[in-house]
Amino acid sequence: MKTLIIEESKALTLVAVADLKSKEIYSLDVFNHFKKTYEGNLYTGKVVQIVEALNGIFIDIGLKDNAFIQKKELIRALGISYHDHKDLPIGQFVKKGQMVLVQVEKEPYQTKGAGLTGDFSLPGEFVILMPRVKGIKVSKKIRQRADLEQLVIEVEQASSGYGVILRSSLENDRITLEMILKDLSQLISIWKDIELKSRLSSKIMLHFEKNKIIGKVETVIKAFVPQQAIVNEEKWLPQLKTLGFTKESVNLLATYSIFNENGINLNRYMNHKIFSFENGIWITIEESEAFTIIDVNSGSYDSNKDKESHIYEVNKIAAAELLKILQLKNLSGVILIDFIDMLEAQRIAFIKELQEIGYNKSNEVTILGFTRLGILELTKKRVSPSLMDLLSMHHSKQDLNYYHLHQLELELNGTASNTNTKRLRIDLDEDLYLLLRQHDVLKEIKIVLDLNSIPINEKKYKLHSLKH
């Protein structure tokens, strides 16, 4: 049975779908409360540099690094004709210092600024407003709604000429036309207000901030259809009810790590570099700032098959397992995979196999082919930071300190609730110690805590009970 898990601390919110029996994790998303996310936010930004060679411009939206928007997206953002402007130099229709309304499509990553779009979207509860396009689109997941055609007609009449997507939540026929039109009306009002403020603005401004966690919960529910949910914060109970969960299907497991309590090994995806499988295959993953290097190995041999066939099957199995890991660890950018060496004819067939099992556009993957050294080169579109980057204070150290802080808070909550412990000394890694000195996220723990900075290699913290 698939279970939605929402585990929250002052440091992180983890949203996952897992099978509590097999312990398999189908989906994992992490939100770091110390690292703000920007995807979906709408800004009025200032043009700071026009770069014809890159076919785009850099815009200051108030973040550390300037964001970038390509020419095609810029034309959309300005609301002008693409046909009339596509062949003109960018400098002829936008000037340095000009204020432009844009939306973040791609998160900033290390030293790279955010990627921007002009294909604006405002998500509501039942519909998504697309101000720069026309027409009504319907989610493919809406199949059983008898009045769908009439809904499309009514929504189109109320859309004020804007594009609208009917969301999959409308599969529930208890959602009435009145509720849908109210949602649409609110979004149109928000958009008109944004447009007006942006037009009059002479300074950088945030207009709309997307609720990423709620949006992600809605997405994974639609994608995996979990039958039950476990949360560690009471605030999620009414929210999950609105998303279709009954009172009986939601379990509140406060003060505990839900993953640990249910024997789900989350650490495997957080800090392991070597992934082993029952059939003798193991995969080694080395993540760096520039690219990710993956090595496939096998210690098994099937005597019923010739060597070439056996190698091909091993690589095929490894590729299927690797795709799951890439998604769970959110690895993207340039990825180099050293599969066990195959014949040239096998490589061609293997690439076709990869595309069929998910190494394709549906998963934002582009296969570039095998290099002369037999390394498979592919790219995966980067929309957000990798799990390692998101959870580490310093990417180069791959320290996972935010994850350790999350675990520490949950462990302390459990200790406070289930023991008579009054005072603890916590030995901490230096970086984690400094983080806690800057952000007192443990102040609500009902135990007196003495923090101590010492070198620690593995867990990054150790708890010691004190009598006084």
* Gap between the Cα atoms of 148 and 128, Å rounded: 16
Q: Please, are residues 107 and 39 in contact by the beta-carbon 8 Å criterion?
A: yes
Structure confidence at residue 87 (pLDDT): 92
List pLDDT tens digits, range 128-185. 999 999 999 998 778 778 888 889 999 999 999 999 999 877 877 778 899 999 999 9
Around 102, how many Cα atoms within 13 Å sit in the side-chain half-sphere?
32
Structure confidence at residue 396 (pLDDT): 77
- Within 39-147, residue ranges assigned H as helices are 71-78, 82-85
Question: CA dihedral defined by 192, 193, 196, 197, rounded to 10 degrees?
Answer: -150
Q: Please, are residues 31 and 12 in contact by the beta-carbon 8 Å criterion?
A: yes
Q: Please, are residues 11 and 211 in contact by the beta-carbon 8 Å criterion?
A: no
Structure confidence at residue 277 (pLDDT): 87
Residues facing 149 on adjacent strands: none
Residue tagged 């979207």 (tokens): 121
User: What is the pTM assigned to this prediction?
Assistant: 0.82
Structure confidence at residue 100 (pLDDT): 97
Structure confidence at residue 295 (pLDDT): 97
Reduce the DSSP state of residue 247 to 3 states and report it: helix
* Gap between the Cα atoms of 460 and 12, Å rounded: 17
Structure confidence at residue 303 (pLDDT): 57
Backbone angles phi and psi of 51, in degrees to 5: -120, 95
Average pLDDT, the chain: 91
Q: Please, are residues 463 and 33 in contact by the beta-carbon 8 Å criterion?
A: no
List pLDDT tens digits, range 61-120. 999 999 999 999 999 999 999 999 999 999 999 999 999 999 999 999 878 899 999 999
Reduce the DSSP state of residue 3 to 3 states and report it: strand
Structure confidence at residue 268 (pLDDT): 86
Structure confidence at residue 304 (pLDDT): 62
Selected residue with higher pLDDT from 200 and 145: 200
Return the number of other C-beta atoms located less than 10 Å from residue 100's C-beta.
20
Instruction: Give the pLDDT mean for 358-384.
Output: 93
Structure confidence at residue 195 (pLDDT): 94
* Gap between the Cα atoms of 445 and 459, Å rounded: 20
Instruction: State the burial class of residue 317 (Cβ atoms within 10 Å of its Cβ: 0-12, 13-18, 19+).
Output: middle
Residues facing 282 on adjacent strands: 276, 297
Element (H, E) at 259: helix 258-261
Of the candidates 195, 58, 162, 40, which has an alpha carbon nearest to the alpha carbon of residue 105? 40
- What are the DSSP calls for 96-123, one per residue? TT-EEEEEEEE--BTTB--EEESS--EE
Assess whether pLDDT exceeds 60 at residue 269: yes
Instruction: Give the pLDDT mean for 404-411.
Output: 94
Instruction: Give the pLDDT mean for 34-46.
Output: 94
Of the candidates 323, 380, 317, 316, which has an alpha carbon nearest to the alpha carbon of residue 353? 316
Selected residue with higher pLDDT from 304 and 44: 44
List pLDDT tens digits, range 224-265. 989 999 999 999 999 898 888 999 999 998 767 999 999 999
Instruction: State the burial class of residue 230 (Cβ atoms within 10 Å of its Cβ: 0-12, 13-18, 19+).
Output: buried
Structure confidence at residue 398 (pLDDT): 85
Assess whether pLDDT exceeds 60 at residue 414: yes
DSSP type of residue 403: H
Assess whether pLDDT exceeds 80 at residue 466: no
- Confidence class of residue 468 from pLDDT cuts 50, 70 and 90? low
- Confidence class of residue 29 from pLDDT cuts 50, 70 and 90? very high
Q: 96 CB contacts (<8 Å, ≥6 apart)?
A: 47, 48, 49, 50
Structure confidence at residue 302 (pLDDT): 62
* Gap between the Cα atoms of 427 and 425, Å rounded: 7
Instruction: For CA atoms 214, 218, 223, 227, give the dihedral sign.
Output: positive
Q: Which of 13-22, 140-149, 268-277 has the lowest mean pLDDT?
A: 140-149
Instruction: Give the pLDDT mean for 397-413.
Output: 92
